[in-house]
Structure 1
Amino acid sequence: MNLRNTTLLVVLFSACVTYAQDSTLVDVNTAAEPKLSYLDSIKSTFQKHEIAACVDERWMNELSNQDLYSEMIADIENTNLDEKVEYDLSTELLKERLKALDAKSAFHIEYNPGLENIIKHYLKNRKRSYERLMALSQYYFPIFEEALAKYNVPLEIKYLAVVESALNPRAVSRAGATGLWQFMYGTGKQYNLDITTFTDERSDLLKATDAACQYMVNMYKIFGDWDLVLASYNAGPGNVSKAIRRSGGKQNYWNIRPYLPKETQGYVPAFLATMYVFEYHKEHGIVPQKPIVNHFATDTIMVKNKMSFKQISDLLDISMEQLQFLNPMYKRDFIPYQTDKNHFLRLPLDKVAVFTSNENKIYAYCDYEFNQREKPFSSQEMLATSDVSIVTKTKYHKVRRGESLGLIAKKNGVTVTELKRWNGLRSNTIAAGKNLKILKEEKVAVTPKKVIENPVAKAVVSNDTVKVKNDKPLEAVNYHIVEKGESLFSIAQKYEITNDELKEWNELEDENILIGSKLIVRPLEKQMTENHIVQSGENLNTIAKKYNVTIDELKEWNELEDNNIKLGTTLKIMLPADEEVVVAEVKTKKPEKQSPYKSEKIYIVQKGDSLFSISQKIKGVTVSDLKKWNGISGKTIKPGMKLKISG
């Protein structure tokens, strides 16, 4: 019986323990539920439509890749049409194909040795480039053809954008021509392309293409020949007219070519060679790469609120690179809002559906984000807020396989432009395994510091000697801005410190320093501060002399832009802070009846002292007395000097 009862108790106890454990687990799981951010809570309410994404992120590396543009421009400027190129393409077969092209083209396409050489050059040396260009063309060409057909311009003109910009809407030439069709600023304005701080419609796919078509129509009215229209697009109608006159009135491009600018001499042949490569790429084994995006899988939305690409990227889960590729007209990755002008955002169709279904929520989030940004302090807030120091820290990111600059920039809260500048990159192409430098600015709160009002801060009287023991220095450090040509060694020599001290104070891993860097050259514990209130008749020069410092030091310590100071202004004066300084020898037999300086015999000059300031400290002593007793003819004294202070 006792055994049965004991067994029952054990079973009941085990059941209770098990129940308690289960209850505990439920409570822990409930408590650990993460709190959603405002962004996640907004996105969780979005209506979504299941349409396959039309852009593969790795293709976004092509969006601002300047390699193709540089190669195309170099070919036009430097390729010698008279230099024979060896390539497996017979002259007879080329003549036959050019004749076929001529039969269906508005251009005069006739064989000549120069054209043969540049075609073979492209086929031999630019095969890979044309595979990439053909991928891009599958997005751009349908848009070009639609506009060209509208203005009754030959559809082959679409190949001109390949020659002009390598299909890069953000391409900028050395002369400043911008966009797919390389409009100069003045020409862009002439054709109503808006150029502002935030937007450049020369990079707008639709508006720039429309302007290019208008230009072509106007030039054709002048010359009546599409070859000459192409030449005028590059050189300007004035240069083409001059070439016609200098050739004796000839109006065939190949006859006036020697009289055109050098660049234009290679321009039309490059256009015709590009046309040939595109039309006969299969015959030469050129396989277009995967298209970046299908034009018909995108659409535009009129934006009714200001927003940044970063906000759109976070809300719609679309990469920054994709947004930049589809919207190259926004120079600062920011869409402004103006009541008198409409701005549009191009997105893949699946993202358009999400945007339009949740438009009000998206605008609400953007407003919330903008309101969270730091605002200017009021004077009261500034008084109540502790000091904040901005510290720049460097970290490194090792590139993993499949990562792009845009993805890395997004992860670290920086821009692609900054990544390229910090790491000396010229293109968006990066190799796996490379270490990228990333600079991050952090705000560090600094406890308000006590200001030492007088260098003689605390006096300890001991028999016949007065000793001054200063508090630990509590003010700012000295800085040096690195200039061109300086090294860590030269800076250390200048401030009479060591390389190791510079590296330690500035947390440097090696001796590499950047121009413009701000280096600590005097550690905190070697300084103290005295405040000086500007009196009537004083200026920076007199104050600098009084404290034995320079005007530039005064301006640096007090962040002054010029030499003007106002009466009553408090100026900071940086002084050395020795731990213990003997100031004077004092006889203290009758201190209650004597001035503390009356019986002084010797005074040791401190940094910042002047004859005037010393005379003020010692009653009954004038500057003339000090000069007379110490044989001083001028006003210059140096720290460490011993001055007699009695006759």
Structure 2
Amino acid sequence: MQKNSDTHKIAFRTILLSCLACILLSACAPKPSKPVATLPVPVPEEPAVISEVVELEISGEPADEVVELQVPPADDAEPLSTEEIEALETRLNIDIEMDESDRKVVEQYFKYFTHRGRKTFQRYLSRCGTLLPHATEIFKDKGLPEEIVYLAFVESGFNAKAYSRAGASGVWQFMPYTGRKYGLKQNWWIDERRDPYKSASAAADYLLKLYNDFGDWYLAIAAYNAGEGKIGRAMKKTGAESFFELTQKNHKLSRRARLRKETKHYVPKFLAVVKIMRNLEKLGFEPADTVACEAISPIKVKGGTDLLALANDLNISWKTFYNMNTAFRRQVSPPDYEATAYVPSFKLQKAIAFLESDKSRPYAGWISYKVRRGDSWYRIGRRHGVPVAVLKKVNNRRSNMLRPGQRLMIPGSNSTQVAWRSPRAKTRAIAQKRGNYVVQRGDTLYDISRATGVSVKTLLSANGLRSAKRLRAGSKLYIPNQSRTTIAKKSSNKKDGKTVAYQVRRGESVWTIAKKFGVSYKDILRWNRLSKRSILRPGDSLTIYAN
């Protein structure tokens, strides 16, 4: 008996020691690294990596997303043609040394853009227009290799309106800090990172600076993506002398110091683009049409110039004018300095004549606002969709004090105010005009969604609403792809039969009342805007749509 007891004790100790060993081993084991954010928080020294670029919606322009690739893109298993192999083996002007694994990554991007992503690359070509020849000329004048200009395809697909969630903007995807450092103004009125002509010059200067720092174009390109600090520290710690040597030694760095996979593949992606651009005809791409593009000329506009009036005088739509002038964030130029606008070259003289006339006087198209009792800068700014700092600046005011009867200049006459509203406010205004359903008392977006077959998310988006709770009886909603008659007919389905105003009796609950009328208790909660925690008291009135 004692022997069995001792045996059990020994077995118990063995199990206990095994458990403790497992716990200690798991505690000492290296923890898996957290996934790296696709769009990291930017710091001045290291511009954030751009992996997803979207076009910011301004002045009603549709959003246009630049395709986000897997890193590297998946192989479609389709072999390269003879022409594609020849194009892939094209020697470039910049000397390059890489191992087989790096060549494989170049091939993966090359294959993606010539196969699955062919339409994407053709779209890049279709919109670069005169921007590519202009940027090429700038890079050539500043002494950069001509091929470096193709970096714009990697950054944004030559999309002047591109805006990343990390805060980078424009064709060359400048972060705010770097953009200001290279002379690109950014404020409430204008963002010159989105000026494809000025930003091309700034990008050339920045790339030339990076080349002077590293003495290698591929390291300069990598630093353009990851930041010179990141690349410089990685080079110092690994002793690498070239970009591809750095990627091969990347594993020797600490997790924090290592180059992200996107940065490691940034240069191979660029090389794939260059090889394609050198062989467009051989690969069957339609080259960028620079001949058919309308010639554009720069022109200086005084502070506060009414840009909408300028566009109207030139007999071109605001959309067309805006596509030529993507840097402007408002329909009025910055009030305190001259800015550069671009107009069709054949209308340059007419534009000059307009700017010299009284019609372009500063603040034309603005409104003169008389301060009312109880007004504040915040209330006025919120009412007109203008930041308080901007209101004070344009009115040359520093004090927070306002006197009734005082006059303020506010951007936003009837013709221009819509452009300064938030996108959501603008959507609400349009929805009110197009409204095809009047909200009834007791309606919820869920009811309307179920009756019309349009999702709640779509209803929120189409009407510029933040929350499904904000519905007022008598207000209008725009329900996409529905006529008024159809909506009225569908909405009436939930109210077939009679509407009962039921008074709650002692001891009743939502469940017992629902059973009495043969309806779902969830419907009663929804019709009366109650929650499951709501308490019913005798005498309370409920609206019930009885069958």
TM-score per shorter chain, which class? 0.5 to 0.7
Separation in 2 of the partners of 1:487 and 1:255? 68
Separation in 1 of the partners of 2:152 and 2:136? 12
Do the aligned residues in 1 keep the contact of 2:84 with 2:283 (CA within 8 Å)? no
Q: Which residue of 2 aligns with 1:253?
A: 243
> Using a 3 Å threshold, how does the CA distance of structure 1 residues 205 and 143 change in structure 2: closer, same or farther?
same
Superposed, 1:290-301 pairs within 5 Å as: 294=293, 297-301=295-299
Q: What are the superposed Cα offsets for residues 61-106 of structure 1, whole Å, 9 maximum, x if unpaired?
A: 9x9665452x0xx11xx2336x54433425x76564445332x345
Q: Which residue of 1 aligns with 2:214?
A: 223
> Using a 3 Å threshold, how does the CA distance of structure 1 residues 164 and 197 change in structure 2: closer, same or farther?
same
Name which of 472, 475, 482 aligns with 1:519.
472
Q: Which residue of 2 aligns with 1:272?
A: 271
Q: Which residue of 2 aligns with 1:334?
A: 332
Do the aligned residues in 1 keep the contact of 2:240 with 2:246 (CA within 8 Å)? yes
Do the aligned residues in 2 keep the contact of 1:220 with 1:229 (CA within 8 Å)? yes
**Higher strand fraction: Structure 1 or Structure 2?**
1
Amino acid at match of 1:439: Q
Amino acid at match of 1:208: S
Q: Does 1:122 align with 2:98?
A: no
Q: Which residue of 2 aligns with 1:47?
A: none
Q: Which residue of 2 aligns with 1:628?
A: none
Q: What are the superposed Cα offsets for residues 421-455 of structure 1, whole Å, 9 maximum, x if unpaired?
A: 7769xxxxxxxxxxx954359xxxxxxxxxxxxxx
How far did residue 225 of structure 1 move? 0.8
- Secondary structure in 1 matching 2:136: helix
Do the aligned residues in 2 keep the contact of 1:144 with 1:209 (CA within 8 Å)? yes
How far did residue 347 of structure 1 move? 0.4
Separation in 2 of the partners of 1:288 and 1:491? 50
Do the aligned residues in 2 keep the contact of 1:171 with 1:180 (CA within 8 Å)? yes
Q: What are the superposed Cα offsets for residues 327-359 of structure 1, whole Å, 9 maximum, x if unpaired?
A: 121122321232xx3212100112212212343
How far did residue 156 of structure 1 move? 1.0
Superposed, 1:153-552 pairs within 5 Å as: 153-245=144-236, 248-257=238-247, 259=250, 260-288=259-287, 294=293, 297-338=295-336, 341-361=337-357, 363-364=358-359, 369-370=364-365, 373=367, 375-376=369-370, 414-415=418-419, 438-440=431-433, 488=443, 514=465, 515=467, 517=470, 519=472
- Secondary structure in 1 matching 2:130: helix
Q: Which residue of 2 aligns with 1:79?
A: 71
How far did residue 412 of structure 1 move? 12
Separation in 2 of the partners of 1:116 and 1:328? 35
Separation in 1 of the partners of 2:431 and 2:464? 15
Separation in 1 of the partners of 2:282 and 2:421? 40
Amino acid at match of 2:320: Q
Do the aligned residues in 2 keep the contact of 1:108 with 1:227 (CA within 8 Å)? no
Q: What are the superposed Cα offsets for residues 490-514 of structure 1, whole Å, 9 maximum, x if unpaired?
A: 999xxxxxxxxxxxxxxx9xxx994
Separation in 1 of the partners of 2:115 and 2:159? 23
Name which of 105, 123, 126 aligns with 1:132.
123
Name which of 100, 104, 110 aligns with 2:90.
100
Separation in 2 of the partners of 1:286 and 1:214? 31
Amino acid at match of 1:282: E
How far did residue 230 of structure 1 move? 0.5
Amino acid at match of 2:275: Y
Separation in 1 of the partners of 2:284 and 2:211? 36
Do the aligned residues in 2 keep the contact of 1:165 with 1:171 (CA within 8 Å)? yes
Q: Which residue of 2 aligns with 1:53?
A: none
- Secondary structure in 1 matching 2:115: helix
- Matched residue pairs, number? 348
Name which of 124, 143, 151 aligns with 1:152.
143
Separation in 1 of the partners of 2:110 and 2:363? 56
> Using a 3 Å threshold, how does the CA distance of structure 1 residues 197 and 285 change in structure 2: closer, same or farther?
same
Do the aligned residues in 2 keep the contact of 1:419 with 1:437 (CA within 8 Å)? no
- Secondary structure in 1 matching 2:163: coil
How far did residue 325 of structure 1 move? 1.8
Amino acid at match of 1:370: G
Runs of at least 5 residues in structure 2 that lack an aligned partner in the other structure: 1-57, 251-258, 374-382, 384-413, 435-440, 448-458, 475-547
Do the aligned residues in 2 keep the contact of 1:136 with 1:291 (CA within 8 Å)? no
Amino acid at match of 1:195: Q
Separation in 2 of the partners of 1:177 and 1:513? 26
How far did residue 292 of structure 1 move? 9.4
Report the TM-score when normalising by structure 1.
0.47
Runs of at least 5 residues in structure 1 that lack an aligned partner in the other structure: 1-60, 380-389, 391-409, 425-435, 442-485, 493-507, 522-647
- Secondary structure in 2 matching 1:277: helix
Do the aligned residues in 2 keep the contact of 1:159 with 1:271 (CA within 8 Å)? yes
Q: Which residue of 1 aligns with 2:48?
A: none
Aligned-pair Cα RMSD in Å: 4.3
> Using a 3 Å threshold, how does the CA distance of structure 1 residues 101 and 65 change in structure 2: closer, same or farther?
farther
